[in-house]
């Protein structure tokens, strides 16, 4: 059973590292994952809530990521035991919960993610979570899985902001991501990330993360914005998507030839 050198997001964050990740929205494939790893990203995020990629493709992509030492965070489309179980058994290292709004939701997801006695996750060795290898020592492997697998809370609504301290202070929250797009829409200022109400809500969440020592992350508008976030205490970023990179590279290439 292999253990990729960068597999533990928790260890990287505990060391004080600032992590940069790429979001895959459509082309969830081993080749894409290989390129992401070669580029030097710290983790890859699979957008499984909005996208239409096939589950079998995701299984192969997760395996490729593990073989290349690249941690995978995946957004579960819903808070449901069977859905979470399948994602965990592929071998992902983190589960992100969209529209996290209460500490009870966090506790429920954590229960699905942890093995007994810490939770109710079904024990299923021999799948992606064990690199398709046998597991001779179940207690040690189960403990390793609990230590490696991280819960990512995702606040993107006004209700989530209202309940932010309860969410962030819940034991077991390993990372906190703020989705400014949906948050701006939910608060009545779609796309206006600099609106005082949006900026104030994000700052409130960041302050609570610093208070409770939970790594805070968001989607910055660019490197300078990321640098500003880092100064304020942010610890991880989703910096772009594969579709965004493809669009910008294609346009830049065509423009360079037109000129």
What global pTM score does this model have?
A: 0.92
Q: Which residues contact 211 (CB under 8 A, 6 or more apart)?
A: 168
Residue 4 lies in a domain: no
Q: pLDDT (tens digit, 0 to 9) for every residue of the chain, 259 residues total?
A: 444 444 578 888 989 999 999 999 999 999 999 999 999 999 999 999 888 888 889 999 999 999 999 999 999 999 999 999 999 999 999 999 999 999 999 999 999 999 999 999 999 889 999 999 999 999 999 999 999 899 999 999 999 999 999 999 999 999 999 998 999 999 999 988 889 999 899 999 999 999 999 999 998 888 998 999 999 999 999 999 999 999 999 999 999 999 9
H or E segment and range at residue 102 = none
Domain that holds residue 103: 9-258
Residue 135 lies in a domain: yes
Decide: 2 and 131 in contact? Cβ < 8 Å: yes
Q: What is the CATH number of the domain that holds 164?
A: 3.20.20.60
Residue 113 lies in a domain: yes
Q: Which residues contact 37 (CB under 8 A, 6 or more apart)?
A: 44, 65, 68, 69, 70
Residue 2 lies in a domain: no
Residue 23 lies in a domain: yes
Give all strands (DSSP E) within 62-185, no chain letters.
Answer: 72-75, 94-97, 150-155, 173-178
Instruction: Retrieve residue 14's tokens.
Output: 């505990």
Number of domains present in the structure of the chain = 1
């Amino acid at each position: 059973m292999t253990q990729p050198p960068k597999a533990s997001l928790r260890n990287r964050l505990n060391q004080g590292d600032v992590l940069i990740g790429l979001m895959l929205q459509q082309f969830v494939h081993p080749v894409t994952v290989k390129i992401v790893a070669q580029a030097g990203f710290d983790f890859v995020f699979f957008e499984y809530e909005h996208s239409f990629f096939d589950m079998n493709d995701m299984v192969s992509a997760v395996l490729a990521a593990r073989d290349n030492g690249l941690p995978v965070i995946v957004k579960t489309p819903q808070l449901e035991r069977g859905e979470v179980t399948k994602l965990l058994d592929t071998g992902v290292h983190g589960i992100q919960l969209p529209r996290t709004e209460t500490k009870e939701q966090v506790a429920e997801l954590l229960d699905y993610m942890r093995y007994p006695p810490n939770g109710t996750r079904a024990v299923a060795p021999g799948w992606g979570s064990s690199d398709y290898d046998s597991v001779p020592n179940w207690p040690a492997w189960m403990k390793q899985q609990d230590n490696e697998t991280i819960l990512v809370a995702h606040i993107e609504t006004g209700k989530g902001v209202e309940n932010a301290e309860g969410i962030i202070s819940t034991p077991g929250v390993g990372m906190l991501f703020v989705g400014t797009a949906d948050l701006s829409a939910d608060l009545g200022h779609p796309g206006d990330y600099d609106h005082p109400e949006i900026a104030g809500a994000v700052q409130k969440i960041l302050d609570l993360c610093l208070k409770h020592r939970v790594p805070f992350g968001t989607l910055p508008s660019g490197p300078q914005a990321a640098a500003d976030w880092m100064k304020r205490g942010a610890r991880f970023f989703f910096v772009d998507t594969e579709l965004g990179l493809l669009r910008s590279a294609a346009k830049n290439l065509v423009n360079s030839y037109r000129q």
